Amino acid sequence: QQQAHDAIKQAFMREGIILRRIDYNRPLIVHTDFSNKGIGAVLGQVDDDGNEYMCACISRSLNKHEANYSSYKGEMLAAVWAVKMFRHHLIGGPPFKLVTDHQPLTYLMSTE
């Protein structure tokens, strides 16, 4: 759990990055990641200067079955879990973009 949380958190550790409230007039960005120990997600937005900022950060440990998932299945688990956990911000809210670093999953999400 901590490993997945830390990996995503590192993306936002640049100087000047702070946790901000969600601005429902701006699109949302959901970053997800999977490791052999846990999954994590960050809900963020982009400010007027083009800088991404964090609104929320979540993570959890994998159960014994999930720990055996392939990277493809694990990255999909992280994406589905993140959307479910952030659903109260995403459903009926501004448009959102789902971001993952897993190339096969990125391709799948870009096809119609």
pLDDT at 5: 72
DSSP string across 6-34: HHHHHTT-STT--B----TTS-EEEEEEE
Q: Is 83 helix (H, G, I), strand (E, B) or coil?
A: helix
Which tokens in the block code for residue 96? 């959102």
User: What tens-digit pLDDT sequence spans the chain (112 residues)?
Assistant: 677 677 666 666 655 567 899 999 999 999 999 998 999 999 999 999 998 999 999 999 999 999 999 988 999 999 999 999 999 999 998 999 999 876 665 555 566 5
User: Domains in the chain, please, with CATH?
Assistant: 2-106 (3.10.20.370)
- Give dist(CA 75, CA 86) in Å, integer: 16
